[in-house]
Structure 1
Amino acid sequence: MAKATKKQALGRGLSALLKDPENDIQSVSDKNADKVIGNVVELDLGAIEVNPFQPRSNFNDEALEELASSIRELGIIQPITVRKLDFNKYQLVSGERRFRASKMVGLGTIPAYIRIANDQESLEMALVENIQRQDLDPIEIALSYQRLIDEIEVTQEKLSDRVGKKRSTITNYLRLLKLHPIIQTGMRDGFISMGHGRALINIEKKKDQIDLYENVVSNSLSVRETEQLVKAYQESKKDPSLLNKKVQVSKETPGYISKGIDSLKEHLSAKVDVSTSANGKGKIVIPFHSKEEFQRLRKLLTGE
């Protein structure tokens, strides 16, 4: 407890130092810079602005409420990171969820690591840190990669080294940006996965992408089924009539069903149909043709 109190007091002391115009630190070579860089400093929330380079654009309200509740009970466990813009003025590099949740709780200050960085360095730090640490959706990751390539002017090979990802992985993410914006939104909202998106990329016409996307969502197709759908579409030589009806794709029967259905048929002495959806849910259909057959099946199933 004593160590925590001492650390917090140190943060407040450094905060006072930063508010002194005579000790305005602008570079790592300035007086007292070594006391600030690498230490946790309590900064006024009002002195911090959000990072325009932040790749995350969607912040789940419920998740923010949960984080705010945690901060209300336990405080900020992990400091945010900021860069110094001017005297007593800072910009977020990482930690926007913690920053937002702290404002929701009504905190006046927040613990922060201060860095000295120019715009390009700040962009790179924000994008790389978010790619590696945050639960970004595939489109947000793809946009982050594209911004690094465009604004930092790096090749995919150099980007691969900087973010620690294979070049093929980066290429697969970047290809998602070729999808129709509606499909990109569907991926961000969780209606389809990256695997679905990668299959739909192979459809050149955006309108046809949308038609097949709607088929995938409405029929809860798995990634494999989506790949089969795209293949069937391509083999049809883009027959427009294919897009106006449900395309039948072969569904793989899970192993546990294949192993159990025969014994179920034998036990009931009846036909049994089993269907499953992409999310693992399913239904069992046992047809009957008379009242007597229904009563027989009911007795077998319930034991009554």
Structure 2
Amino acid sequence: MAKATKKQALGRGLSALLKDPENDIQSVSDKNADKVVGNIVELDITAIEVNPFQPRSSFNTEALEELASSIRELGVIQPITVRKLDFNKYQLVSGERRFRASKIVGLETIPAYIRIANDQESLEMALVENIQRQDLDPIEIALSYQRLIDEIQLTQEKLSERVGKKRSTITNYMRLLRLDPIIQTGIRDGFMSMGHGRALVNIDKKTDQIALYERIIGENLSVRDTERAVKAYQEGNGYTKQVKKNAAPPPFTKKASKELGNHLAAKVTVNATENGKGKIMIPFNSEEEFQRIKKLIVGE
């Protein structure tokens, strides 16, 4: 406990140093920069702006509330990372969920690691750190890879080295961006897996992609079923033409989805075939949200 108190006191001391106009650190070569850069500093939340390069485009409100509750009880355990913009002005590099949740709680300060970087370095740090540490969905990861290639001008080989992933893995993610936006949204919302998407991307015509996507959802096709459907389509067997006839789910699924969704306070999808065989899908955005849903299901 004494160790934690000492660290917090040190953070407050460094914060005071940063608020001194005579110690306005702008580069790693400035006086006292070694005391600040890379260390944990308690920063005023009002002095921090969000990162325009943040790859995560949506934040689950309920998951944020749960994180806020944890922060209210335990504080911010993992510091955010910021870069210094100007005197007592900072920009997020990573940790936007913690930052948003801390604002919900009403914290005035937040522990942060400080880095000094230009916009390109900040973008690269934000994208790479989020790919490695955050629970991004496959489409967000694909978009992050694409931005690293386009905006940082990395080759796939260099990108592979930078993020520690095989080039084939990166290629598989980026191919998902060839899917129709409706299907990309379906993957992001958890209605089907990346494996389904990897199969669908082999269909070039977007209308036929959507037709088979509707069949996947309506008939609960597995990844293997989807691969067979795509193969049949490519062989000219018109596998997607029966979609409208077969895609309508039994009436009970809509009511069940609504009732379970209300009970679990989550987006629940119940899919079933005409004979009643089906599955229940409950996407979650964090381990905290998973544990909450689990407790409601098993009654812990």
Q: TM-score, normalised by structure 1?
A: 0.80
Q: How far is 1:243 from its partner?
A: 4.4
- In the alignment, is the contact (CA less than 8 A) between 2:233 and 2:240 conserved in 1? no
- Find the counterpart in structure 1 of residue 49 from structure 2: 49
Q: How far is 1:237 from its partner?
A: 4.9
Deviations 1:207-235 (A, max 9, x none): 11111111111111111111122222222
Give 1:14's aligned amino acid: L
Q: Secondary structure at the match of 1:111?
A: strand
Quickly say closer, same or farther: Cα 1:279–1:229, change in 2 above 3 A: farther
Give the total of aligned pairs.
254
Q: Secondary structure at the match of 2:216?
A: helix
**For the residues of structure 1 that align with 2:108 and 2:183, how far apart are their CA atoms?**
41
- Find the counterpart in structure 1 of residue 207 from structure 2: 207
Give 2:235's aligned amino acid: E
Q: Secondary structure at the match of 1:230?
A: helix
Q: Secondary structure at the match of 1:232?
A: helix
Q: Greater CA deviation, 109-118 or 216-225?
A: 216-225
Kindly indicate whether residue 124 of structure 2 is the aligned counterpart of residue 115 of structure 1: no
Could you tell me the percent identity over the aligned residues?
81
- Find the counterpart in structure 1 of residue 270 from structure 2: none
Q: Secondary structure at the match of 1:221?
A: coil
Give 1:115's aligned amino acid: R
Q: Secondary structure at the match of 1:28?
A: coil
| Structure 2 unpaired stretches of 5+ | 248-274, 282-300
- In the alignment, is the contact (CA less than 8 A) between 1:83 and 1:91 conserved in 2? yes
Rg larger in structure: 1
- In the alignment, is the contact (CA less than 8 A) between 1:94 and 1:129 conserved in 2? yes
**For the residues of structure 1 that align with 2:240 and 2:24, how far apart are their CA atoms?**
67
Q: Secondary structure at the match of 1:84?
A: strand
- Find the counterpart in structure 2 of residue 221 from structure 1: 221
Kindly indicate whether residue 1 of structure 2 is the aligned counterpart of residue 7 of structure 1: no
**For the residues of structure 2 that align with 1:152 and 1:141, how far apart are their CA atoms?**
16
Give 1:153's aligned amino acid: Q
CA RMSD between the two structures? 1.8
Deviations 1:77-117 (A, max 9, x none): 01000000001000000100000000000000000000000
Q: How far is 1:63 from its partner?
A: 1.1
Q: Secondary structure at the match of 2:246?
A: coil
**For the residues of structure 2 that align with 1:240 and 1:190, how far apart are their CA atoms?**
22
Q: Secondary structure at the match of 1:90?
A: strand
**For the residues of structure 2 that align with 1:38 and 1:202, how far apart are their CA atoms?**
46
